[in-house]
Amino acid sequence: MADVLLVGGGTAGHVLPAVATAGALRRMRPELSVAFAGLPGSLEERIVGGTGYAFHPIEAVPLPRRPSRDLLRLAPRLLRSLRSARALLDQEHVGAVVSFGGYVALPVSLAARGRVPLVLHEQNSRPGLANRLGSRAADHVAVTFASSAEQLRVRGRVHVTGNPVQERLRDLDVIARRPDARTRLGLDPTRPTLLAFGGSQGARSINRAVVGAFAAWRALGLQVVHVTGPNDHEESMTRWREVGVDPEGDGDGPVNSAVRVVPFLDDMADAYAAADIVVGRAGATSIAELTVLGIPSVLVPYPHATAQHQQANADALRRAGAAVVIDDAELSPDALATAVGGIVGAPGRAGAMALAARAWGRPDAAEAVALLVVDVLEANDG
């Protein structure tokens, strides 16, 4: 039995807010049974598997965005996945569905219609196709960006909640943790630090620009935590050595190297705590974490994101004064060095950006979404 079934997948940006919301539900209503649904062997199964929540495998099919043979086969495949989702809702006696988008969520969102209440959350400024379709049957639609409401035909049911952030990151005291975090990462605890990452798979354009810009940052005394992504790690290590930096050696820092290079980090807490500034993509989860923690950023939106939603995400932070935005096509070592230097080299500006980030962030987002779920459960009980 599952009082609440959460679904969303394809990227960590769909799954992590769902896990954060599940935690808020458990804190708010400990008696609730909370479970997840997703594709077997998927990212969502791996992430949820480490949390202790039950995970139910479902069928789902990607939604083709252009005419193709896949489009011709879509209807029967979607119908099969819809039947599977309906069977799951019935078998588990689900009381409410909470959808966080991605094509994985669509059959469960559609199956909820007429059966159980549906709460939907849209992380990005431009809603994805699955959420646009599912929102028509939703009792409540939670959004991160107020502008998303204009693109969803759900007047009176939209709530600007922000994007849920995991409790362990949301409550992280980055200032208190900073010296120890830098030490654990093999860095000088006293030097300004830049964190660069391109999401779970990395970003080659960012990786190359960071390596090329490092020479200009030496004058600032800047040290770097570089999360390359697994696919680009070896090439990045080679590029670091070509510019005279051995990330595995002693470098010029009193503790270890001035550069720490890793393919990925399962736990970003130390990396965020160590950072005075972050360079990265503009995914909704990254933005939510940066703003809740109050870290200035240089954002390079992924140019092939659906409906250019990362560009819109980044522009929202730029307008708030919390980030500098560089288009991927214009990213170069010089452009990145200048953008970072203009922040790290000007403490007053860095402080103002940090305050702007915190003002924009919504640390109570998980609780706000959880309250919508509790609302539909209580209304359904009544």
What band does 247 get if pLDDT is binned at 50, 70 and 90? Answer: confident
Burial label for 235, CB within 10 Å (0-12, 13-18, 19+), is middle
99, 120 contact by CB (below 8 A): yes
What band does 307 get if pLDDT is binned at 50, 70 and 90? Answer: confident
Q: What percent of the chain has pLDDT above 70?
A: 93
Determine the pLDDT at residue 255. 36
Determine the pLDDT at residue 83. 92
Give the mean pLDDT of 284-297: 96
pLDDT (tens digit per residue) in 148-207: 877 777 777 899 999 999 999 999 999 999 999 999 999 999 999 999 998 655 589 999
Q: Which residue has the higher pLDDT, 67 or 87?
A: 87
Determine the pLDDT at residue 148. 85
20, 39 contact by CB (below 8 A): no
Determine the pLDDT at residue 71. 52
Q: Is the pLDDT of residue 43 over 60?
A: yes
What is the spatial distance between Cα 76 and Cα 93, in angstroms, rounded to a whole number? 26
Q: Is the pLDDT of residue 252 over 50?
A: no
Determine the pLDDT at residue 293. 98
Give the mean pLDDT of 312-318: 95
Sign of CA dihedral 107, 39, 16, 65: negative
Give the mean pLDDT of 208-212: 96
Give the mean pLDDT of 66-79: 65
100, 17 contact by CB (below 8 A): yes
Question: What's the DSSP call for residue 129?
Answer: H
Residue type, 314: A
Determine the pLDDT at residue 200. 56
Q: Is the pLDDT of residue 287 over 90?
A: yes
